[in-house]
Amino acid sequence: MRTLAEAWTWYQAVAEGMKTLNRLAKVWGDLPWGQCDAWVARVERDSVLGRIEAVELERNARTVTEELDDLAIFVMFSVFEATVRDHLKNQIAPELRRLEHPSLVKAGKDVEDTIEQGSFGKLLEPFKLDVKTKSLVEEVNQVRRWRNWVAHGRRSERRPDDTVIPRAAYDRLGEFLSLLEHVDEFSKPDGESE
């Protein structure tokens, strides 16, 4: 997955698939096993379906569903982070190419390294300077903290203060990406034009 939209589509497909599996598990034992010999024979010959029990279907659906929301946030934020890093790198590249003084060239290289490998939370800090986007950045940081909690194995019994659900994460991250597309407009002080 390379885009936030692809990650969201994946999440929706898996969530729907698990609902379907769970519903199938509820009726699996009631299927006409002895009434339709051709159908039963076909299912029994299948290397997976022939050996599965309703309890196993339910357990598998429950296992996936219990972890899915957190995994979806992990995946969406990972795709989002890569997108933001690529976007920032592409946005500053023309400015870095204009630098000539060796100290500035070195500082520019440091900025590139920070964008590629530095703290993502710190990359968001400049966007907090604008009153219009400060709260959005905090909402993105809530998603980031949740992703980090999941990524580090949920070792802490204490979850992050703000529970994040996949739809909210998708909306917040998408809104920030839209903002990033117009960063030139965003970065000018109010009333200033080119």
Structure tokens given for 183: 């960063």
Helices (H) and strands (E) in the chain, counts: 8, 0
CA atoms of 194 and 116, how far apart (whole Å): 29
pLDDT digits (tens), the chain, 194 positions: 999 999 999 999 999 999 999 998 888 888 777 677 777 778 778 888 878 888 999 999 999 999 999 999 999 999 999 999 999 999 999 999 999 999 999 999 999 999 999 999 999 999 999 888 899 999 999 999 999 999 988 877 667 777 899 999 999 999 999 998 886 555 554 444 44
> In this structure, is residue 192 part of a structural domain?
no
| Number of domains the chain is built from | 1
Structural domain containing residue 52 = 4-186
The letter for the amino acid at 28 is W
Residue that is written with structure tokens 């929301």 in the block: 69
Write the CB contacts of 18 (distance below 8 Å, at least 6 apart in sequence): 61, 64, 65, 68
> In this structure, is residue 22 part of a structural domain?
yes
Write the CB contacts of 111 (distance below 8 Å, at least 6 apart in sequence): 92, 96
- Burial of 149-160, coded b for 16+ CB within 10 Å and e otherwise, reads bbeeeeeeeeeb
> In this structure, is residue 191 part of a structural domain?
no
